[in-house]
Amino acid sequence: MTEKGMLNGAPDTLVLAEERETIGLMVALYCRAHHHCELPCEQCRELLEYVVERVKQCPLQAQRTTCGRCHIHCYKPSMQKKIKEVMRYAGPRMLKAHPLLAAKHMLKSLAIR
């Protein structure tokens, strides 16, 4: 058992899968409204893949909070701008569409200050 695993309480893969699902849903909401795509377009899929890659490599995995509150800004500026736009648009809508996932996401971001 690694120290990281003990602190985390949940396997990294589970956390990552949830994060991916949440971000995926947010990107899909954003894309549908702004790019009028039924499924996330290439540009949006690229953004999602980028974010998931960053999350995977996040040095704060063990005590992870959501990236919105992360003090290490690991996104490159162009991607950061995009993901912020997505979050701003999809955040409030997530509460309606997927209250459970949204609540979990917010709880995580409140857990560490």
In the chain, the N- to C-terminal Cα span, in Å, equals: 27
Tell me whether residue 31 or residue 70 sits nearer to Zn ion (CB atom): 31
Of residues 30 through 49, those in contact with Zn ion by CB under 5 A are 31, 35, 41, 44
CB of residue 22 to Zn ion, shortest distance in Å: 17
Contacts (Cβ under 8 Å, ≥6 apart) of 61: 4, 8, 12, 15
Q: Does 25 bind Zn ion (CB under 5 A)?
A: no
Task: Provide the residue count of the chain.
Answer: 113
CB of residue 80 to Zn ion, shortest distance in Å: 17
- Pull the structure tokens for residue 103: 């609540």
Residue ranges binding Zn ion (CB under 5 A): 31, 35, 41, 44
